[in-house]
């Protein structure tokens, strides 16, 4: 903050911290649900120090469950947080009610049958799963998700309502040249700090990789012009 003040960049600073001014939902992305679920998996594996081969089935099963719940929430409410995923993973009645809401939207033609079909298939498998197996998958999911819901201020900062999101990712930040700082020292916050740092880093890398490179863009435009000129020249020779 002092460095930003020194160079007149105070208004460009976005400081993310537990109970702070800015709120950030790591799931508030327009990416594919499978991609977002894989982010949570990567952050969870990073937090635990790696994935043992014997754990791969449970971790991938948990990822698939997170994907299904993200897709469900996108159809019913258009928005989802870690707190929502935790609730649906641990409360079968809440999940069933959300599915019923999706069915009503399908009947009202506000959600297409094609969009709902995949969620229906996932839910049928989920409710028909053997309880011990489901319990292991839920345990794998909640081990990570619990970090975002167990503390009130942490939940308020990283699981905000859609209208309360004040930092919606890096696209606008990169366009404006703003500065994002995560002020949550691991020595003070432990695992929650590492979890948010990993998700924030993945969000940043994904945004950068999706942005068109200006140099590549100019090369493509130059190649297109060269091809067009070659075609025009060829057409003139044919006419002659």
Torsion angle, alpha carbons of 116, 128, 141, 169, to 10: 0
Give the pLDDT confidence score for residue 112 in this predicted structure: 92
Return the H-helix or E-strand segment holding 100: helix 92-107
DSSP 173-185: HHHHT-EEEE---
Torsion angle, alpha carbons of 220, 224, 225, 227, to 10: 140
Q: What is the C-alpha separation between 136 and 147, in angstroms, rounded?
A: 18
198 with 184: CB under 8 angstroms?
Answer: no
Q: What is the C-alpha separation between 196 and 17, in angstroms, rounded?
A: 10
Q: What is the pTM of this model?
A: 0.78
The closest of 107, 51, 81 to 199, measured between CA atoms, is 81
Tens place of pLDDT for every residue, the chain, 240 residues?
Answer: 777 777 777 888 888 888 888 999 988 888 888 888 888 888 777 766 655 655 677 788 888 999 999 999 999 999 999 999 999 999 999 999 999 999 999 999 999 999 999 999 999 999 999 999 899 888 888 888 887 888 888 889 899 999 999 888 888 888 888 888 888 888 887 777 888 888 888 888 888 777 765 555 555 555 556 655 555 554 444 445
Q: Which residues contact 10 (CB under 8 A, 6 or more apart)?
A: 1, 4
Q: What is the C-alpha separation between 5 and 13, in angstroms, rounded?
A: 10
Return the H-helix or E-strand segment holding 86: helix 82-90
In this structure, the number of other CB atoms found within 10 A of the CB of residue 171 comes to: 14
**Length of the chain in residues, anyone?**
240
Return the H-helix or E-strand segment holding 15: strand 13-16
Q: What is the C-alpha separation between 36 and 26, in angstroms, rounded?
A: 9
């012009």: which residue's tokens? 225
3-state helix, strand, coil in the chain (%, to 5): 70, 5, 25
Give the pLDDT confidence score for residue 239 in this predicted structure: 46
């Amino acid at each position: 903050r002092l460095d930003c003040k020194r160079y007149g960049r105070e208004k460009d600073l976005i400081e993310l911290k537990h109970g702070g001014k800015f709120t950030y939902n790591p799931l508030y992305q327009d990416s594919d649900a499978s991609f977002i679920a894989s982010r949570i998996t990567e952050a969870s594996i990073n937090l635990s120090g790696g994935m043992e081969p014997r754990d791969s089935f449970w971790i991938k099963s948990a990822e698939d469950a997170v994907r299904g719940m993200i897709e469900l929430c996108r159809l019913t409410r258009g928005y989802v947080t870690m707190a929502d995923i935790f609730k649906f993973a641990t409360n079968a009645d809440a999940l069933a009610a959300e599915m019923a809401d999706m069915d009503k939207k399908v009947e009202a033609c506000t959600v297409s049958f094609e969009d709902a079909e995949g969620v229906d298939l996932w839910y049928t498998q989920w409710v028909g799963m053997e309880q011990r197996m489901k319990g292991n998958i839920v345990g794998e999911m909640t081990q990570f998700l619990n970090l975002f819901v167990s503390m009130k201020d942490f939940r308020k900062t990283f699981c905000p309502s859609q209208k309360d999101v004040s930092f919606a990712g890096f696209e606008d930040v990169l366009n404006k040249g703003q500065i994002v700082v995560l002020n949550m020292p691991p020595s003070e916050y432990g695992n929650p700090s590492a979890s948010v740092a990993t998700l924030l880093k993945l969000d940043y890398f994904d945004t950068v990789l999706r942005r068109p490179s200006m140099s590549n863009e100019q090369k493509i435009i130059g190649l297109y012009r060269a091809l067009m000129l070659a075609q025009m020249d060829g057409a003139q020779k044919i006419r002659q």
